[in-house]
Structure 1
Amino acid sequence: MVILAAIIYWLLICASLHCDVYYLIFQTVIFIYITGEHHLLSLINNVSSGLQLQSITKSITNVEAPIKEKYGRNIILGTHKEGGAVTFWSHAVSLPLSSNAILSWKFCHVVHKLLRDGHPNTLRDSRGHTASIRQMGTLWGNLHDRYGHIVALYAKLLCIKIDFHLKVTLVSRRDGSVCIINMSFFLNAVFRQMECSSTSSTTPVGQCRLAPLVLVIQDCGLLYHFLVKLLFKLHSRIPVDALLGHRERFREQFNSLTQFFERARGMEFFKSIIQIPDLPDEPPNFLRAASLADHVKPMVVQNETFPDYDETDTQLDFGEGNYQMVKTTWIELELIKVEAQRAVVQLKSQVNKLESELEDQRTHKQMALVENERLRMEVENLRAQTAVAASIQATVEDMVKCLCHMVIVTVNGHDLLCQNAEMVKQLSSTQQAQEELLTYKQQMAVEVEQLRQDNSSKVTLHSFMFMIPAGDELSSVLVGLQAEKETLLRTVKDQEAEIASLRQAAQLHQTTLQQERDRHQREMTALQNQLQEKLSLDSGLLQQKLQDEQFSLLQCAVVEAEGIVLDAVAKVDDPLHVRCISTPDYLINRAELTLASIDKMQQSQAAYLRNMDDASGLLRSVTQFSHLIADTIVNGAGTAHSAPTDQADRLTDNCRDCATHCLQYLKELKLKATLPRADLTAVRYVVQRILNQGQDLLPRGADVRKEELAEMVDKEMAATSTAIEDAVLRMDEILSQARRDSSGVKLEVNQNIIGSCSDLMKAIHMLVTAATDLQRDIVDNGRGAGSVKDFYAKNSRWTEGLISASKAVGWGATQMLESADKVVTDRGKYEELIVCSHEIAASTAQLVAASKVKADRGNKKLQTLQQASRHVNDMAAVVVSSTKSGQMQIENKSEFHGHMQIVKFVTTNNAGMHSKGIV
């Protein structure tokens, strides 16, 4: 049953790939016959994995169109079959996410789909990749790209979502609110992108940006319901006053979510895809527990999937015929690999079996040798025991002979003593009395000696009488040992004969095993050679194809880089860019980063020339290099706008030369023939000149002594405030002059423009006042026991930045005054006034940034300054809108006046013709 199900599954997969059914049936049957059930199931798993990888490749592309639902569904089903997202992440880490923002955007969309609808283990498998997602978001957030900002926000949202779900069992009160806050930022950024690019939600480009918001809407509904229930539960356990901040934050997020739902309902894209729930007019009353019963969970219902737009797969897919041929070749190669592996395994098992048998023979041989050695040692011991027994027998015989001789001597000595005693008794009567004592002494000595000898003879005889039975026993033992020795000798001879026969059999068996091993080794070598030739041929073709694809990607990146550099050169020559200024400090920063990027570019180019299979490093370097060189060119031109004439001309020429050399280098980088000799020396030289000119434009410490910086700051801030006040008064004079010199629509337009400009000047005056107060507070808190002059001298760079920002604000106010005067007197263009409003907003932002560098985050005066900055931005927007509206009114009036002149001319001609009688 398993095999039948596997066959059906295999046929369904092949049918979905447009293969020939009969050919597939034949291949499937042959494959089952050769490999068996286990390998078939393994191949089906491989095909499923391949289908998932194909869907990943076709989903995450650089085409600006939404992801097809069938590909997303295949990826999600793949995670459920696999039990996780290991296959997805193993393929995703190789994607060039840093080379294309659209590719990163679609990658984030797929990850969001997997986190929401994929297997539960997807969250665990994605945990280790949050760092790379965060790094990708940081990269695109720092680059000026259409998708860069929203990709950075999407990456941040995904990291927070992963962390939120990992600790959902121990979630705190703030985590759900944090998720909604980040979603709100993300949604607003996407809508701003749509408005800025004037993209419709019904086009593939617009749907590419809006498609991830469907998932975000679904998440927002669940998070909103979760927060409502959580806050009701908190209010039932915690005092009401302690949760005041929570209620305020919830109200802000409720209003933001309501606005988003209303805005999304008005888009055609969401109307056809999803039913957005209606939120109540007011947030729930958490102070009344009964309000929980009135709460209705917002249900997000998805109507249907959005239409799939055909993507150009020319760079990702082969043709259908080539794909079938590659697939067939791949299956045959897999079969050859499986057969070769099976043959190698069988040969290895046979060799291991023969080696084990040989090892057993060696063990038996070793045991026989040990047994032979033991028997030899026993024979040697028996021989030694026999020699000892023979020596003991000889000793016993000698002792018996000595004993017999001593017995004879003792008997003869006893007879002689008896005769001597009789002779002494016969002569005792004839000797004198003086000899009796001597004789007696001699007799006593003889008797004592005789008794001693007699006693020793008896003891020796007694001991020899006991040794005679012991000698008999030893003789009998010796006879038994000799018989056992003969038996052991016969056994040893038999063992030696058996060992010789076993040795001969083992040698014969070893020879046979060696022959079998040599034969199997030759067969295995032949199979390995065939497999190696096949693999080398296929790997050569695949390597060439990989190198071609890598070089194609490099060419695409270089073309994109050329477009970025050309856009920067166009900005240098654009008249609207004349009023955009930059600072030498920022120009130096961009130039230094560009020099570092040039070094990295050279290293990446050398690495690519060494290994042309991987162009990822060079792609990242080209992208970074193009953006940094464009920033250097644009900021160099902006710095030249505020520099002296001679230095400005030289700096502008160097920027153009830098663009020329950079384009020449990129042109050489696009072609394989000129790639090895592409050199960045000329670009480095020009960038170094730009860096030196930027350093020359910096204010020198010799011009103003450090102890005079405090006075300079006060003077510049006062001068800026005075310039703004004068500008306000001058605006009133210009308005009075306009009322005298104009009327009707022209007067209304001039009043609106001058009024908005006057309001902007007042807002700037409030901003300068707030910046002055904050600067004084910073000095008072930071100088400690030192004086104000010491503090400014110690922080000279910060002081110079503050002075530069103040000058920029004053200069912007003067330029706006002149532009407004020219517009009212018909000597200027409305576009100049719009540009001035943007520049003065940028100058105030620079002043705010310079002021808040040394300020604490909790400083109330810093908050006042930030509010004033937002007010300036609002007033600048009012100036822009009033200027555009006035321009449209003037143009409409001119058209109407032209039409009236034509009507008047026609009427006059008709009247003249009638007066002359012409019909």
Structure 2
Amino acid sequence: MSRMWGHLSEGYGQLCSIYLKLLRTKMEYHTKNPRFPGNLQMSDRQLDEAGESDVNNFFQLTVEMFDYLECELNLFQTVFNSLDMSRSVSVTTAGQCRLAPLIQVILDCSHLYDYTVKLLFKLHSCLPADTLQGHRDRFMEQFTKLKDLFYRSSNLQYFKRLIQIPQLPENPPNFLRASALSEHISPVVVIPAEASSPDSEPVLEKDDLMDMDASQQNVFDNKFDDIFGSSFSSDPFNFNSQNGVNKDEKDHLIDQLYQEISGLKAQLENLKTESQRAVLQLKGRISELEAELAEQQHLRQQAVDESEFLRAELDELKKKREDTEKAQRSLTEIERKAQANEQRYSKLKEKYSELVQNHADLLRKNAEVTKQVSVARQAQADLEREKKELEDSYQRISEQAQRKTQEQTEVLENLKQELATSKQELQIAQGSLDTCAQAEEKWVTQIAELEKERDSLVNAMACREEEISALQEQLEHTQLKLSSAQESMCQLAKDQRKMLLAESRKAAEQVIQEALRQLEEPTLISCPGSADHLLSTVKYVSNCIEQLEKCWSQYLAHPEDISGLLHSVTLLARLTSDTIVHGGTTCLRAPPEAADALTEACKQYGKETLIYLAFLEGEGTLESVNSTAMKSCLSKIMAIGEELLPRGLDIKQEELGDLVDKEMAATSAAIETATARIEEMLSKSRAGDTGVKLEVNERILGSCTSLMQAIQVLIVASKDLQREIVESGRGTASPKEFYAKNSRWTEGLISASKAVGWGATVMVDAADLVVQGRGKFEELMVCSHEIAASTAQLVAASKVKADKDSPNLAQLQQASRGVSQATAAVVASTISGKSQIEETDNMDFSSMTLTQIKRQEMDSQVRVLELENELQKERQKLGELRKKHYELAGVAEGWEEGTEASPPALQEASFQFHHLHKLVSIRGLADSKPGHYPESVQSQKDRRSVLAENAKAVLPLFLAVPWIPTAAYAAAAAAAYKKTLGAIKISGVTVTRLALLPCTSVFKNRKRGQDAIPICRWFGS
């Protein structure tokens, strides 16, 4: 229904289509999620239960909510786009008709938006943010649209008195921040309470209405006197004085009370909404405080860890300080050793000076003591070596002492800096410890309060547990009752299933018995059927029997599932009835023996089906219900139907698609070959011919080339149209399946393609003979007409299933007109060439005498009589050939052989030809009444023009008749048409013989619903 409304581009078509699509989406959503009620009102606990605590379910549920909300927004946007917002459309009837469905849409959108926000926060707490990027983008888009639509709706006067539309926040929720959930406020749609029905209104007691003080009564009386005058107070019809109070004032008081009640109800709803909102805010605040408490505890733990770390660092610094003191002590010892070495060096130096002096003394005593000199030299060398060693050792010790001193100084400075830094960090840690201690005291207080609340909750929980135990006892008692009720319900359901199966079986038996009764009474079957339709029905029955056996086995395994079995039984009954009826209709076209066999097989199949259905009613097993006898009868029916198939259907249906492509390709190849041969003949003619013959050959071959090119364009357009037909009509099936399903139409395409290729080949052969001087120009003209007829057949076969507004069909028609023009050009060039050549063969009468001319005249008359006699015989031969051609074509296409048309067809044909005769014959024009023409038509010339237009309009009635012609009827129709149009004078031109253009007659069997197929081609002489 949605697709049907979608075809209407104006008015309410698109609105109805989108609204129906929304209803389908809503039903699918509630089918997938049965936990959601129809009004979508759920608590947070119910929403969590709908996802079953599974993140995958929440993820899928969010996607389905997005789809549902998108359909709602599409309807919203389409309704607003269809309104003229420059006027107050909400107060008009048409505008309110369009805005009325949006009230429910607003309610659903508010719930879907609230649930989507909560589900997205839940998903962000379980899944990474990158995974939900698509959800966030889609939510942002829908948030913007919904906010804009809510704002635009709140400004319409129509909604202000019916519904209070909520306003969404300025910015969308930040799902990356978990605490943002507490800031979310669920949108609440408030519908003001409407006036209650009179039955439900509270009845005010009479005393309550009468107990009014005198001042109020006087006020009413004064108002009444001011409006109607004081004379009414003494009037006998003054109901105020008779009843004690004015009826209008009572109604006004009642209305006022109802208004106050409605206002109080609205205030109560607002208070409930505000309380719910406050509860939600308090819950969010509690969650925030709990989060802050956890965060402070975490900070406290961090501070404790940092203090432990600082203590460890302080111990390390103390150890480093002790190491530094040890290093200083070692440095002092090294300095002391250095001083001892210096003292030793000074002592050695003094000793050296003494030795020098001794050496001087020894030199002086050298002469005296030679041995002592050598000893002294040796001692001197030893002293110098020791001196050098002492100097080197002193140098090394001094350098080492300097390095040690420098290193110790650097280490000491680093330790001082680290000590200062540690002191600062220690001070900071001490401050944070103080802060944490204060916070700890605060949280200890809060924890104590929370423990008190926990104790109260524990007490409440104990009370709840007592209530739960009582409820559990009630539940056990209820479950016992429920189990007994379920047992009774199961037995009742079992009885109902048996009853349904029995009723379905009885109904199926009635349908089959009715079909058998129709088979016994042939008068009930008014239309003959076809064997191919019977075979297709038998195939459906075979599939249905297999499906029924599966459903029966499933029913035996699971008796509670009976829907499939009931459907299969009903379908089997209907298909069995169709098979029997179609078998009876097929017998009307079959030979007597085959008809008797088919009738007997159909009867036997009906009886076996009744026996099979009788087995289904009992509690039998799968083996007791046997369908072998039914399948055997179906096999017999199928065998008889295949024997009754016409010869034109011998091609396997699965090969039709490939055969169409092959024939179209072969036709294109034949056209290309013909074009190449024409070009070759043209080049040969230019090389060997001159003068008039060359001119005639060039003109004829050029027109033939143009015709081949036009045919090539036509074939390409036909391929495009066929491809479009297949793509638009095949649905989910393949092209081969489409061709097989429409076998008659496919065979028409194949026949037309073969005819086009054959005509092109014959025309090229005829043109070759004409160019060589061995052929006749008439053959070329006939071949051109044959090609035009074949292309017309191809166009007609392609147009049968095409859409009338298809651009490919327009291109095909344009190409067909091009072929017609090219055919006319071939005929014209052939006639012109023939006349040019005949002019060169004119007789020379200058040298002939009177006797010779008379002799030639007599010979010409004899020749004319001979030719007329031959022409008459040739026409008779042509008529016999065409009659035989129609008979063979009828047999090939599956028509009945040797039968006449049905009486309704003959009556229709008689009416059509009579109407045609009245329109176009000279006698009909003479005998017609003046009222047959418009009043503006007075002259004979105007009448002839009207006659020509009428004849042109009526001609397609004969060329494309909607009834089924047979071979005998085709011959009778041709004879009647020729007799009717034996001599016509239209616009001053006398036509002595009917010259029908080659055309293709296309019919459609509307009774059987088969596709249109080409049946015959007419050539008038």
The interval holding the TM-score normalised by the smaller chain is 0.3 to 0.5
Q: Which has the higher contact order (CA 8 A, sep 6+)?
A: 1
TM-score, with length taken from structure 2: 0.32
Q: Which has the higher helix share?
A: 1
